[in-house]
Amino acid sequence: MQKSIIIFKTLKSKNMQQPTLLILAAGMASRYGSMKQTEGFGPSGETIMDYSIYDAIKAGFGKIVFVIRKDFAENFKASFDAKLKGRVEVEYVYQEKDYFVDPQYMPEDRTKPWGTGHAVLCASDVIKEPFAVINADDFYGYDGFAKAVNFLTNDCNEKTYSIIGYILKSTLSDNGTVSRGVCDTDASNNLVDINERTKIYRNKEGIVVYENNDGELVQVSEDSSVSMNFWCFHPTVFDVIKKLFKDFPKDNFENIKAEFFIPIIGEYFIKKGGGKIKVIPTTAQWFGVTYKEDAPEVKASLDKLINDGTYPTSLWNEKK
């Protein structure tokens, strides 16, 4: 496994362990139709990941781990090594379909890896500290990273994880339906369940609805807290993931499209593992590029943030 080790950024307190940010960038971008992970949206060619990394370093993350595929590793590393040198420690790990899979249970016709939970597992050798997980193609905003660092450095332990919860109405697309994990919480804002809702959109009457399994449209509160795959874990989660994934390929051998998603891990943790997952709300504006048509809106949103002074025109031309 090749590594790119860069200078470690310290927190104000030298005794405080810095958390790691794990970025899932191995996806095939099937709906988008291109490598959106490395597409430039900022005025100086910045990717969405650049803004996440910028916010993460500012918030206090000390290491960035990218999960990528071997087939685009060279170009990907060339894009990020130079700009991050001297700013933060960087690691690259690969997610390939045969990793952590018994060869006898690897379907010959399977074309891609096993999903987001499998991607997290692929980073188990390089993460030994509390860490957060995000998607490469989502913009999360500084507040989300600041709250993640606060949780990871103060409250995260073997029995307590968290999700950074976004407001549903702030995560919709004007260019098509979206799928979201709507969080069901208890009185203490601990996760009870994640209800996967597909084909969510705002209808002509301005009401947010989703399509259920019977094809019926059901209203959902636009102020619901949803998971945008921004998770905070203790490193002992890798033991949980290894246990759960061990039999997953065998149990899904006939289903070549089966995916081992992170919510599978979360559900086991709170229902059978004796743990709890806090849903930490953020008012940060989320946006992403699910569809090609989303790209101009993403660029416009970034331009507004730059004009407001939230980000510099060129992220990485500032002094290190």
Number of domains in the chain: 1
The pLDDT, as a whole number, for residue 285 is: 86
The answer to whether position 214 is within a domain reads no
> Does residue 16 lie in a domain region?
yes
Q: Say if 213 falls within a structural domain.
A: no
Which of 280, 243, 250, 279 is CA-nearest to residue 264?
A: 243
Which residue, 51, 130, 129, is CA-closest to 83? 51
- What is the pLDDT at residue 116? 94
Distance CA 110, CA 108 (A): 6
The confidence score (pLDDT) of residue 38 equals 61
Q: What is the pLDDT of residue 32?
A: 37
Q: Return the H-helix or E-strand segment holding 56.
A: helix 48-59
> Per residue in 16-46, pLDDT tens?
679 999 999 987 444 334 454 567 788 888 9
Residue 306 in contact with residue 216, Cβ under 8 Å? no
Domain extent for 157: 3-163+224-317
For residue 177, being part of any structural domain is answered with no
Q: Enter the pTM of the model.
A: 0.88
CATH number of the domain at 98, please: 3.90.550.10
List pLDDT tens digits, range 292-306: 788 888 899 999 999
For residue 181, tell me if it sits in a domain.
no
Specify the higher pLDDT residue, 3 or 207. 207
Residue 112 has what pLDDT? 87
- Residue 178 inside a domain? The answer is no
